[in-house]
Structure 1
């Protein structure tokens, strides 16, 4: 699994799916979702600023609200490499993993935020369970992911994982 590299965007707690993807965009084609991703959040200019691999650092309960699957799809289609938060809403977490978007809890969010500068570059090593602020050469532990979650992320999502398993068995 490749390391994820990019800048970090900071969000507070209780970022709900309406902030991630406004309700009016639910019928947009996938390729259009990135134009409105996080428009309802404190970083409403996110679509203009995000680059492939960038990371979101957030507080508790990221992805709360509705169970709309489009919210993690919007983040992934905008280029977000990973979301690291103190905690996630359960359905959002499951939806994100199912599409291959790494969402990882981290108890060191407050320390990371206190020690970082806005232009710092980060690297996430999911297999090693570490996020590194490359600019200041400081590492922070991520909470471990289950083997099942790791396998799903390594496959690029649940559909790819199931397809690979079926191919192994000669079922397709």
Structure 2
């Protein structure tokens, strides 16, 4: 996985899965339908304004609530390249990795609209807007392989070849 660069969308604490993809939109598993409502419980304008490569930066307990797998699927389908949070709900974290969405546990100083560069292999986040840098635990090789393959199932299928 190479360096990721994108614009920050800032969120606070306890962004639960019902905020990420509200229950009223769970009539489908089609990612293209889900993405139209991603983050609708927190910011109605998110789905129509998010750009491919953008980055979510949140505070504590991102992805808490139910274990709905549609939450990380909707985020990834929206074009978000990585979610950075001070902490994650364990099931959200696992679901994100399983579908190939990078998630980084880090306490960084970033504002809405800042440009970040994230280097998961070398364990570094740089806020290009402020010039500040933050060390993170580098991703293990097996994790990079899973993410590079697009998720756990695709990784497994690649291993089978």
TM over 0.5: yes
Identify the range of structure 1 (43-52 vs 93-102) with the bigger mean alpha-carbon deviation. 43-52
**Number of matched pairs:** 160
Larger radius of gyration: 1
Alpha-carbon offset, residue 9 of structure 1 = 0.8
| Correspondence for 2:36 | 35
- Alpha-carbon distance, 1:45 to partner: 1.2
For the residues of structure 2 that align with 1:53 and 1:4, how far apart are their CA atoms? 8
**How far off its partner does 1:30 sit?**
1.2
TM-score using structure 2 length? 0.92
Take 1:119 and 1:68, find their aligned partners in 2: how far apart are those partners? 28
- After TM superposition, the structure 1 = structure 2 runs for residues 87-102 of structure 1, keeping only pairs within 5 Å, are 87-102=87-102
Tell me by how many angstroms 1:150 deviates: 2.5
* Structure-2 residue corresponding to 1:57: 57
TM-score normalised according to structure 1 size: 0.87
Give 5+ residue unaligned stretches, structure 1: 168-172
Measure the CA separation in 1 of the matches of 2:141 and 2:81: 20
Preserved CA contact (<8 Å) 1:33 1:78:
no
**2:138 equivalent to 1:137:** no
Superposed CA offset, 1:36-91 (max 9, x none): 000101x3311122100111111111000001100000000000000000111001
Once superposed, what is the RMSD of the aligned Cα atoms?
A: 1.4
